Amino acid sequence: MSDKSNTARVQRPSLSSSMRSSSYLQEHQQYRAPNKPEGHYGIDTVVEDMNATSIATLPSPIIPPKGVARFKGIPSPEHPPTIVESGLSHELSHPNCTPAPGTRSDKLVATLYYKSTAPRISNAIPSLQQASSPAGSQSPKGRAADSEIPSNMAPTSSLDTFPLEPPTAEPEPLDHLYGSYVSPMCITSFLHLMSSFPLPPGASDLNSAHRCLKLDQTPDHHPLVVELTLSPGPSLDYLPLADLRKHELIYRFEREWNVDVALRADTLFRRYPRLVVFDMDSTLITQEVIDLLAATIKDPPDLAARVADITHRAMLGELEFDSAFRERVKLLTGLPGTLFNDLRPVLEVTNGVRPLLRALKRLGVKTAVLSGGFLPLTSWLAGELGLDYAHANEVVIDDATGRLTGEVKGRIVGAERKRELLIEIAGKEGIPLDQVVAVGDGANDLLMMDAAGLGVAWNAKPRVQMEASARLNGDSLLDLLYLFGFNDEEISQLIQ
């Protein structure tokens, strides 16, 4: 018997038109939710198909095509004008233009990042079937590794303590069906989602315009980062922007399509940052210096484990950051002060940091690193990368012995101090906080991210991802530039 299942392959659903050709997005660049009345046609309405139009407005030097009557009245839904010039049709629409005098626009910019480096798989849980099997029918492997529950599905990964009614497995991600990129169906789904929120009083339609900022390397050049401008955005009286970012519908959309969504008000300062402040550990570099320091010291042999224990207690909230840092520094008492120099070759700069800083410098943007680590390493790294400011904790070194005393000089650079330093640097440079961007990954970065005009969580802890203004979960920190509206062509010019 031949196996026919291997001879035929089911084709994935796809759209006939690509993102970069005429499509639903380009028709007046306007989105109308289902079951909503069509808006009126303005003087600039374009009708592509001349044969389907009975009334048209044409420039006087041009003779109307046969079968098309010259329009002699006022444009209306019944008599939409047609603009023709040398055989070319023009798509003109003004919903995203400058507002009328005396009014202001309420535009919202949504930047969609496809997380190609972290594809999400559907959560089919065969282990749950094992849990419901009759007693005595346990598999030979038992209920160990094979019966673990994915960590993102329940409060526990142990079937012994699993809730009585386990959650249903998530469906297959939609990007598996419609393409591993920001597909037209993904954008349609997002626009439909945004249309479910109330609009400001007087607004009847949600207008949208899109720009592809980053394309993949395939022959079809699918978009990986897309910027959508929505006009107007959801009513701020109904849902402030900070709450909209945390809305469950946004979270579900991100999970379904494997994307990150960054929402920002379309203001002037969005496009022109003047100060960008970074955390150091797990942001500018991929490691945590305190753990790296402990791991490289062999005497005493249990130092790394003791430092890791304090770090774990701090993450559980048993210790404040200041107390935890002082306790860990105390463990370094008696070590030579030159150990920081030995760590320099070990530091691993995060992918994309060097070209990002080169681009920011060419734009005239000031940069700073505010670290809860050690000043000798932070200052050295700032010099290597060309940052303008560097602040971190200064450990005390005995002048006579050249060894660490286990003490820290001055205030600990924790959450409060980072916020103060950000405000101090901005004030010194004469930069409004609206034009400050703060990038970090830990809970001690939240206060400085909140003080900045834009706080960006970089591959951050879950709480930070939820609280930050925007989140990036890619493999290159250069992705930060897309939040400012730059596309790949412009970024390539900046990093040369």
Phi-psi domain of 402 (left: phi exceeds 0; alpha: psi -120 through 50; beta: other): left
Is the bond into 232 cis (omega within 30 degrees of 0)?
A: yes
Going by their DSSP bridges, the two strands 389-397 and 366-374 should be labelled as parallel
Choice among 106, 175, 260, 279 that is catalytic: 279
Distance, CA of 385 to CA of 34 (rounded, Å): 51
- For residue 426, give the nearest of 481, 370, 357, 374 by alpha carbon: 370
- Identify the H or E element spanning 214: strand 206-215
The conformation of residue 250, written as its DSSP 8-state character, comes to: H
Choice among 281, 322, 441, 479 that is catalytic: 281
Calculate the dihedral angle through the C-alpha atoms of 384, 387, 388, 389, rounding to the nearest 10 degrees. Answer: -90
SS3 331: coil
Amino acid of residue 67 = G
Q: Are 489 and 476 within 8 A, CB to CB? A: no
- Residue 443 Cα distances to 217, 311, 320, 466, 471, angstroms: 36, 13, 11, 11, 14
Confirm whether 279 is a catalytic residue.
yes
492: Cα within 13 Å, side-chain hemisphere = 5
Dihedral sign, Cα of residue 402, residue 407, residue 410, residue 411: positive
Dihedral sign, Cα of residue 366, residue 370, residue 371, residue 376: positive
Written as one string, the DSSP assignment of 140-192 is: TT-SSGGGPPPTTSSS-S-GGG--SSPPPPPPPPTHHHH-SS--HHHHHHHHH
Angle at which helices 303-315 and 321-330 cross, to 10°: 170
Distance, CA of 281 to CA of 289 (rounded, Å): 6
Please identify every residue annotated as catalytic: 279, 281
